[in-house]
């Protein structure tokens, strides 16, 4: 029992000792696109974003179709889906960026912005996902990513206004309502 307590304590200490994020806004980040080019998130200022960790071999992979429909329907109103491939859950995204891009474009005709594969949980979690999931930077809807296709809705000012579990499909009325409210 004391060994378990010690492990939990050490785990908490490791997380507590992470350096504070230097980024104070989602717009302070620069990410790699799936093609390897740098993308400054400030390019999305004034836009509504749905940030999604994605995977090609997951039971939720068909959500790509719904995400593309959302992007197509609302992109002219300043809405973007941003896809971040991650291999953190069940090794369900084992491919290279080039393989992921080909899969998404041929299987689901994805045209929304896709980014280079990153870690969204654990010790190697990318700072961008730390920003999305930590209470200090996301006080209203911070929570750890539990599986592939978790979603974070970001308003035009860069505030994270909601997060949605994998089971919330892109055509879910509550998600669509939140997107439409954020666009207005």
Q: For the chain, which domains are there?
A: 25-183 (3.40.30.10)
DSSP string covering the chain:
-HHHHHHHHHHHHHHHTSPPPS--SGGG-EEEBTTS-EEEGGGGTTSEEEEEEE-SSSTTTTHHHHHHHHHHHHGGGTEEEEEEE---STT---S-HHHHHHHHHHHH---S-BB-----SSTT--HHHHHHH-TTT-TTT-----STT-EEEE-TTS-EEEEE-TTS-TT-HHHHHHHHHHH-
Range 96-117 average pLDDT: 98
pLDDT at 156 over 60: yes
Query: What is the pLDDT, as a whole number, of residue 9?
Result: 37
Catalytic residue among 50, 55, 58, 104: 58
Reported as a pLDDT band with limits 50, 70 and 90, residue 129 is: very high
pTM metric for this prediction: 0.89
Average pLDDT over residues 138-143: 84
pLDDT at site 141: 81
pLDDT band at 16 (very low <50, low <70, confident <90, very high): low
- Mean pLDDT across 152-178: 97
pLDDT at position 108 over 90:
yes
Integer angstrom CA distances of residue 13 from 32, 127, 165: 30, 18, 27
Looking at residue 138, what is its pLDDT? Answer: 86
State the pLDDT at residue 17: 64
- What are the tens digits of pLDDT across the range 20-70? 888 889 999 999 999 999 999 999 999 999 999 999 999 999 999 999 999
| Residue 94 pLDDT exceeds 80 | yes
**Active-site annotation holds for 58:** yes
Top pLDDT among 142 and 14 is at 142
């Amino acid at each position: 029992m004391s060994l378990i307590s010690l492990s939990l304590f050490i785990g908490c200490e490791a997380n507590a000792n992470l350096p504070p994020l230097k980024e104070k806004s989602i717009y302070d980040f620069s990410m790699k696109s799936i093609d390897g080019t740098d993308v400054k998130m400030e390019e999305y200022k004034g836009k509504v974003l749905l940030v999604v960790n994605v995977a090609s071999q997951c039971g939720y992979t068909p959500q790509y179709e719904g995400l593309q429909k959302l992007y197509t329907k609302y992109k002219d109103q300043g809405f973007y889906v941003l896809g971040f491939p991650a291999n953190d859950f069940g090794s369900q995204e084992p491919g290279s960026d080039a393989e992921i891009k080909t899969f998404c474009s041929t299987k689901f005709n994805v045209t929304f912005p896709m980014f280079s594969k990153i870690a969204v949980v654990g010790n190697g979690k990318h700072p961008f996902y730390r920003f999305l999931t930590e209470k200090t930077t996301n006080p209203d809807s911070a929570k750890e990513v539990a599986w592939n296709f978790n979603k974070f809705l970001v308003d035009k000012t860069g505030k994270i206004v909601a997060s949605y579990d994998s089971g919330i499909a892109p055509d879910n009325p509550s998600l669509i309502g939140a997107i439409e409210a954020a666009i207005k």
